[in-house]
Amino acid sequence: MKEFDFVRAGTLSEALEFLAVRHTATRVIAGGTDLMITLRRNDPSWPGPGYILDLTGLDCLRGISREGDRIRIGALTTHTQLAESPLLKDKVPFLSAAAFSVGSPQIRNRGTIGGNIINASPAADTLPPLLALEARCRLVSREGERDVSLTELLTGPYRTSLRPQEILKEVYFQIPGEGTGFSFQKVGRRKALSISRLSVAVLLSLVEGQVGKARVAVGAALANAARLPEVEEFLEGRLLDRDVAQEAGKLAAEKVVEITGRRWSTPYKEPVLLALVRRALLAAGAPQSP
Amino acid sequence: MSQFRSVNHPVRRVDAYEKVTGRAKYAADLRFDGMVWGKVLRSRYPHARIRSINAEKARSLPGVLAVLTAQDVPGAKTFGIVVPNQYLLADDRVRYLGDGVALVAAETESIAQAALALIEVEYEELPGVFDPLAALEKGAPTLHAEAPDNLAVHHHVQKGDLAAGMAEADLVLEREYRTQFIEHAYIEPEAVLALPTHPFGHYLTIYGSFQNIYNIRRSVAKVLALPLNRVRLVQATLGGSFGGKDEVMHAMAGRAALLAQATGRPVKMVNSREESILESYKRHPYILRYQAGVKKDGTISAMKIEVYADAGAYASMTPFVTWRSVVQATGPYQVPHVRTDIYGVYTNNTYTGAMRGFGSPQVCFANESFMDEIALELGMDPIEFRMKNALVDGSVTATGQVLNRHRVSLKEVLSQALEAVQYQDKVREYRRFNETNAEKKRGIGVAVSYRGVSLGGEGTDAAGAYVSVQQDGSVIIHSGLVEMGQGLRTIYTQIVAEELGISADRIVFLDTDTSVNLDSGPTVASRSTIMGGSAMKDAAGRLRLTIHGVAADKLEVAQDDLTGEAGIIYSRNNPEKKITFEEAVRHTALRGLRLTELGWYQGPKVSWDEEHGQGDAYFTYVYAANVAEVEVDAETGQVEVLRFTAAHDVGRAINPENVRGQIYGGVAMALGYGLLEEVEMDKGVTRNLNFDEYFVATTMDVPDIQAIIVENPDEFGPYGAKSVGEPTLEIGAPAIANAIAFATGKRLRELPMDLERVLLGHSLRERRTKRGSVER
Ligand SMILES: Cc1cc2nc3c(=O)[nH]c(=O)nc-3n(C[C@H](O)[C@H](O)[C@H](O)COP(=O)(O)OP(=O)(O)OC[C@H]3O[C@@H](n4cnc5c(N)ncnc54)[C@H](O)[C@@H]3O)c2cc1C
C-alpha cells in the first residue's frame, strides 16, 4: 500500500485551510471504499498522496434535510442513510433504491454519497437518479463556495471539475411535485456486491397519461453517468404506452451507441439498455410507482 | 429413533466456537521471536528463458538477509506427486506467470517487497501456447523435454464394440461442451511459517495452511535433501482449501524452509489475494466432444467421448483428475459400447490440479446437458430417458465393473428429489408461466450422477487413527487426515464417542503433525469419513474391548452383555449392574493395560487396467440427483435460481447437519461454476486477480436449498457411511443449464452461463484497460 500521513480534520475551516496549503499532495477520505482500493493497488505510475485528510469528523457534512421545496444531502451521508431515510423514500424513492443497490451492508454503511459523486465511476449508482433530479453540488474551499450542477461536475470517467483545494459539501435538488413517478433499474452480474453493468433512472410527471416532464439518465453506458436529452424531448408531450416506452428505449440505445461507438460490450448493452429504459418508463408511469 | 447414540445425530461442530469467535489461529496469525518475512519474485512472462539473474542490488538493501535462486536449492530442483516436473524455483526457464524465480528474506515485509523490485532478471521471451488443441499441433511450442508432444497424460476407456453400437442406433447425436478455469476461492490465502534447524538440531518445523500434509512434507524433504524424519509439518487451522492447498503449498513450504535454513531465522510467508490467484492452480477447463447412439425407444446403444483438459504448465494432479473423468464420463447409465479418450495437455496457462469434484464437474456438465439434448431430440421426457438408461443393482459400468457390492440407488435419489419438488406440477406451472410472460421465463432442470468413493485405482488407499484414553476417562484423538472445514474432527469425535459410549465433549482433537500422526495419505476424494472414520472406529473399538473386559470382570458379567452409553457401562440383561466409564478406565490403568490404540483401515481391493481401459475402478459409489428451478430475464440475461433441491445417498449420515452443510456449500459453489465464475486467462495472463472481478456467489444469490439425505448403508464404511463432500457440487451446473434451456429454449454449452451467454448465446470478452475499472 502507498505510504502517507493521516490527518483528521476537526472543523470544516481546518480542513479547507489544510487543503489550501497542501492540496497538491492531499487526498480527502470519506468512507474510503473507493480510495482504499486505489491506495492498495500500488499503481507504480502514481507516487501516492503525501497526506490523507479524513473528513469523517465533520458533522456539518452529514445528514438529509428538507429546506423549503428542496432536499439537501450532506456529502458524508452514507448509502445506508440514503436507503433508509423516510424523507427520501417518500419524495424520491428511486434515490433510496439506487443507494440500497450499492455493494453490501458493509459498503453501504461506510460508502458516502460524496465519495460516490467525486469518485465519478461511470457505474456509480446514485448518479443516475441524482442527474434525473437535476441535482446541484455545493463545493467549498478557503476562498468560498461554488454551486455547480452535477452534470457540469462530471467531466469524464473518474473525472470531475472539483478543484484540488475544494471539498464537496452537499448536494441538493428540488422536491418533485406530487404525482411524479420514479424508477431505478440496474443490471449486475449478481444480486449483491455487484457493480452495475447498466443502470437507468427515470423521473416522470404524467398528466392524464401524457408525459409532462421526463428525465432519463443512464449509468455504466457512457464515459460518465449522464442524462439523455433527446430521449427526454422525445417523451415530453406524448401519451405514455408500451410502444412509446419501447421507442424511447430504442432511441436511448441508439444515442448511446452513437456516442460510444461500437465496442466489445455493445451487442449486449444495446438491447439491454432498450429494455431497461422501457421498463423504467413503464414502472415510473404506473399509477403507484415504487 | 436412531440405533446410535452419537453417530447419526446432529452433534455440534467441535471446532465451531473457536472459529466463530475469531480465536482460531490460522497460519498468518502465527509469530515467533526473530521472525523475518519471505517473498517470491515471480515470472514476468508466461514462457521465457532466463538469461541471467542479478541479485546484488537486492542483497545490499538494508534489512535484506538472503536472496536465493534455483542454484541455492540443495536437493532436487523439482517436485510433484505424479510427475515431478514442477520447479521450486525456475531453473533456466519459466513456464507460466506464477513461476517463482527468486526468494527474498528480509526483516520486514515491505523491505522484502522492495527487494523484489531490485532483482534484475534478464529474460528471453519464448513463444507460448495457451490452448490445449493448439498445443497438440505439430510444431507447437513445447514445455517439457519429457513431453515433446505436450501430452501430460492420455487415459481411455474401451468397452464393447463402438462401431457396432453406433450402427444399432436410430439416432446419432454429437455435441461439444466447454468449461472454464475455476479458482478455489478459499477465504484464507496461503501462509506458512518455517523454523530452521540449527546445525545440531534434529528437524525443521513448518506451520502452514496445508491440505495434503504428507505429500507436502515429501516435497520439502526432497528439495532440501533431508530425510522425512527431519521435516516436521504442523497444520494450522485451515481457512478453506477445496483441493487447493496442495502443490502451491509444496512450493511455499519448500521456499520458506529454504529461507529459514539460509538465514537461521523463522521465516513467514503470506500470499496476498492477488499472489494467491496468480500462482495457485485452478480447476481444469475441458473441451468435451460427446457422441451418442440411441434407439427410438430411448436406450443408449453407444457413446464416444473425446476430452481435452488444459493442464497448464505442470502435471500436478492432471493424471489423476483426468482418470476420474475418464471413468465417470458416460454418467450413471448403462451403455453397452463405449470409447472414451481424455488428453491432459501442457500449455503456458496457470497449471491446473485438484479442486472439489476432481474431474467430475466438467464431465457431469457435458454428460447431463447431453442427456437432456438427446431426450429433446427423441421427443422424450428427460426424466423418462434417464430412468430408462439408469444404472441399477447389478449393472455393468463403462469400465466393466459389476455393481453388486452396494445398493445402486440412482433411481431412488432421483425419485425422492422429483417428489420433493413436485416435478410434474412444476413443469406444467412453468410452461403456463412462460406462455403468458415475455420478459421473464421460468424453467426446471435435472441432473444426476454417480461417483466413485475415495481414491479408487489412483493409488494406495489406507488411513490411520490415534485414540488415547487418559486415566480420568477423557480422550485425546488425532489423525493424519486433516480438518479443512469439512467437519472431519466432529465426525471422528462422534465415531469415537459412539464406540466408547461416552459423550463427544469428553474428546479432544489434536492438531495434525506429520511427525506424530500416521501417514494416512491425502485428505481428498471425499475419503476422510469412510477411510479415516473406519480407522477411528478400529482404534476406539479395540479400546472398548479392553475397557469392557475389565468392566466385565468387575461386574462379574459376560463381556458381550455389556454396553456403554453416556459414560456408563452396564449389563443389557441387568442394567443395575453398571460402572462408570471413568471407573472402568481407572481399573484398566491399574492393571497396566494399554489405553492408547492406533487404528488402521485399508481400502478394499480395486483394479485398473490402463492398457485395456477397464477395471473395478472404485470399491463403492455414491448417487445424487439435483433439481434447479430458475427464472431467466429474457431481456437482460440475468438468471435467478429460485430453488434448488439436492438428494444424495451418503450411505449413512454420521452427522446429518454436517451433510446438509456440505450440500448447501456444494450447491453455492456449483451455482458459481454454472453462472458466475471464470478465471480469465488472456494468453497466459490472469486478468481477474481478486474478488472484485472474480465473482463467487454471495448469500444473496444462493436460493433456498432443499437437502435430501438418502441412506443406504455401505458394507465398507463406518456405520455404513460413504461420502458427500464432492458430489454436492458436480451436477449443479448442468441442472441449471437444463433449467435455462427449459426456460429459454436455448441450449448453452459453455460455462459460465453469464449475462452475455444467456442473452446472446455467446460470451463477450473485454479488452481490459485498468483493473477495477468499470466494464464499458
Ligand atoms: C466491495 C465494493 C462494492 C461496491 N459496490 C458499489 C456499487 O454497487 N455501486 C456503486 O455506486 N459503488 C460501489 N462501490 C464504490 C463505493 O463504495 C462508492 O463509490 C462509495 O459511494 C464511495 O464513497 P466513500 O465515502 O467510500 O468514498 P472514498 O473512497 O472515501 O472517496 C472516493 C473519492 O472521492 C473523494 N471524496 C470523498 N468525499 C469527498 C468530499 N466530500 N469532497 C471531495 N472529495 C471527496 C476522495 O478523495 C476519493 O477520491 C463499491 C465499493 C466496494 C469496495
* pLDDT above 70: residue B503: yes
The answer to whether B194 touches B256, Cβ cutoff 8 Å, is: yes
Instruction: Pick the closest to residue A103 from A7, A175, A185, A33 (CA basis).
Output: A33
Same domain, B248 and B370: no
Residue B389 pLDDT level (bands cut at 50, 70, 90): very high
- Structural domains of chain B, count: 3
Binned at pLDDT 50, 70 and 90, residue B772 comes out as very low
Reported as a single tens digit per residue, the pLDDT across B236-260 is 999 999 999 999 999 999 999 999 9
Instruction: Answer yes or no: is B767 within a domain.
Output: no
Q: Are strands A26-29 and A51-54 parallel, antiparallel or unpaired?
A: parallel
Is residue B158 helix, strand or coil?
Answer: strand
Domain end (from B602, B622, B654): B602
pLDDT given for residue B88 in this prediction: 98
Residue B587 CA to residue B552 CA, distance in Å, equals 11
> What is the grid cell recorded at B611?
492398457
Say if B164 falls within a structural domain. Answer: no
* Chain A residue numbers touching B767 (CB-CB < 8 A): 264
Residue A236 C-alpha, separation from nearest chain B C-alpha, in angstroms: 26
List the single residue in A with minimal CA-CA distance to B752: A189
Share of chain B residues as helix, strand and coil, in percent rounded to the nearest 5: 30, 25, 40
Say how far apart CA B385 and CA B631 lie, in whole Å: 25
Predicted pLDDT of residue B768: 52
Q: B695 and chain A: CB distance < 8 Å anywhere? A: yes
Q: Answer for the pair B477, B517: CB distance below 8 angstroms, yes or no.
A: no
Per-residue confidence band for B775, with pLDDT thresholds at 50, 70 and 90: very low
Task: Assess whether pLDDT exceeds 50 at residue B358.
Answer: yes
Say what the pLDDT of residue A43 is: 82
Do the Cβ atoms of B388 and B135 come closer than 8 Å? Answer: no
pLDDT, tens digit, 9 for 90 and up, residues B79-118? 999 999 999 999 999 999 999 999 999 999 999 999 999 9
The answer to whether B150 and B345 have CB atoms below 8 angstroms apart is yes
Does residue B68 register a pLDDT over 80?
Answer: yes
Residue A31 CB less than 6 A away from ligand 1: yes
Give me the interface pTM, i.e. the ipTM: 0.95
Q: pTM, whole model, 2 decimals?
A: 0.97
A138 Cα to chain B: minimum distance (Å) = 27
What architecture (CATH level 2) is domain A5-54? 2-Layer Sandwich (3.30)
Say yes or no: domain A180-285 is CATH 3.40.50.2030.
Answer: no
Q: Which helix (H) or strand (E) holds A274?
A: helix A266-285
A81 lines ligand 1 (CB under 6 A): no
- In a 13 Å sphere around the CA of A41, the CA atoms on its Cβ side amount to 18
Question: Which residue, by CA, sits nearest to atom 31 of ligand 1?
Answer: A115
Is B720 within the bounds of a domain? yes
- The pLDDT value given to residue B767: 55
Weakly modelled stretches of chain A, pLDDT under 50: 289-290
Q: What angle do CA B374, B378, B381 make, to 5 degrees?
A: 80
| Together in a domain, B240 and B306 | no
Query: For B252-283, how does the pLDDT look when each residue is reduced to its tens digit (9 = 90+)?
Result: 999 999 999 999 999 999 999 999 999 999 99
- Residues 739-758 on B with a CB inside 8 Å of A are 754-756
DSSP state for residue B393 in the 8-state scheme = T
Q: Which of A16, A33, A104, A140 to mutate to test the pocket of ligand 1 (most atoms within 8 A of CB)?
A: A33
Give the residue whose CA is nearest to atom 9 of ligand 1: A102
- The number of the ligand 1 atom at minimal distance from the alpha carbon of A162 is 43
Task: Assess whether pLDDT exceeds 50 at residue B638.
Answer: yes
**How many percent of chain B have pLDDT more than 70?**
98
Q: Which of A33, A264, A274, A277 is the mutation pick for testing B, counting most B CBs within 10 A? A: A264
> Of B211, B237, B270, which residue sits at a domain end?
B270
Cβ within 8 Å, pair A190-B695: yes
Same domain, B629 and B515: no
Quick: pLDDT tens for B675-728.
999 999 999 999 999 999 999 999 999 999 999 999 999 999 999 999 999 999
Q: What's the CA gap between B326 and B608, in Å, rounded?
A: 12
Torsion of CA B434, B435, B438, B440, to 10 degrees: -10
Which chain A residues contact residue B765 at CB under 8 A?
A: 264
B570 and B448: one domain? no
Report the percent of chain B where pLDDT is more than 90: 97
- Atom of ligand 1 lying closest to residue A194 CA: 8
| Distance from C-alpha of B175 to C-alpha of B370, rounded to nearest angstrom | 7
Predicted local confidence at residue B458, as pLDDT: 72
Q: A46, A197, A257: which to substitute to probe chain B, counting the most B Cβ within 10 Å?
A: A197
- State chain A's maximal CA–CA distance in angstroms: 60
Residue of A nearest to B637 (CA): A272
| CATH code of the domain in which B485 resides | 3.30.365.10
**Chain A residues inside the 8 Å CB shell of B759:** 268, 271-272
Retrieve residue A226's grid coordinates.
Answer: 449522464
Q: Could you read off the pLDDT of B324-354 as tens digits, one per residue? A: 999 999 999 999 999 999 999 999 999 999 9
The closest alpha carbon to B260, from B105, B424, B390, belongs to: B105
User: Across the beta sheet with B151-159, what order do the strands follow?
Assistant: B151-159, B337-346, B300-312, B286-294, B171-178
Q: Is A164 in the pocket of ligand 1 (CB under 6 A)?
A: no
β-partners of residue A74 are: A170
**pLDDT over 80 at B774, yes or no:** no
**Residue-by-residue DSSP string for B159-204:** ES-HHHHHHH-SEEEEEEEE---B----SS--EEEEEPPPTT---E
When the pLDDT of each residue in chain B is averaged and rounded to a whole number, the result is: 96
A272 lines ligand 1 (CB under 6 A): no
- Grid coordinates belonging to B142: 513445447
CATH topology of domain A60-174: 3.30.465
**Contact A27 CB / ligand 1 (< 6 Å):** yes
Counting from 1 in the atom list of ligand 1, the atom nearest the Cα of A127 is 11
Contact status of A121 with chain B (Cβ, < 8 Å): yes
Q: What is the mean pLDDT of residues B487-491?
A: 97
Could you tell me if B500 and B224 are in contact, meaning their C-beta atoms sit under 8 angstroms apart? no
Contact between B408 and B391 under an 8 Å Cβ cutoff? The reply is yes
In a domain, B753, yes or no: yes
Rounded average pLDDT over B510-539: 95
Q: Which residues contact B337 (CB under 8 A, 6 or more apart)?
A: B159, B160, B161, B162, B164, B165, B166, B293, B301, B302, B303
Which A residues 28-57 touch B at CB under 8 Å?
Answer: 37, 41
**A167: Cβ below 6 Å to ligand 1?**
yes
For residue B568, pLDDT beyond 70 = yes
Does residue B76 fall inside a structural domain?
yes
DSSP secondary structure string, A81-127? HHHH-HHHHHH-HHHHHHHHTSS-HHHHHH-BHHHHHHHT-TT-TTH
Whether B451 and B466 map to the same domain: the answer is: no
Res B620: pLDDT:
97
Residues B402 and B360 in one domain: yes
pLDDT for the residue B773: 35
Q: Are B723 and B527 in contact (CB under 8 A)?
A: yes
Instruction: Assign 3-class secondary structure to B735-766.
Output: HHHHHHHHHHCCCCCECCCCHHHHHHCCCCCC
The CA distance from B179 to B681, in Å, is: 13
Q: Is residue B154 part of a domain?
A: no
The mean per-residue pLDDT over the stretch B484-510 comes to: 97
Q: In the predicted model, what is the mean pLDDT of residues B748-769? A: 88
Q: Does B678 touch chain A (CB under 8 A)?
A: no
Mark yes or no for CB contact B698/A268 under 8 Å.
no
| Separation of CA B649 and ligand 1 centre (Å) | 48
Give the residue extent of every domain in chain A: 5-54, 60-174, 180-285
φ, ψ (nearest 5 deg) of residue B17: -60, -50
Residue B603 identity? G
Last residue of a domain, which of B551, B579, B602?
B602
**Do the Cβ atoms of B440 and B632 come closer than 8 Å?**
yes
B563 and B641 in a common domain: no
Q: Does residue B131 fall inside a structural domain?
A: no
- Tell me: pLDDT of B323 over 70: yes
Residue B505: all three cell numbers together: 465433549
Give the range of the structural domain holding residue B235, as residue numbers without chain letter. Answer: 31-126+191-270
On whether residue B281 sits in a domain, the answer given is: no
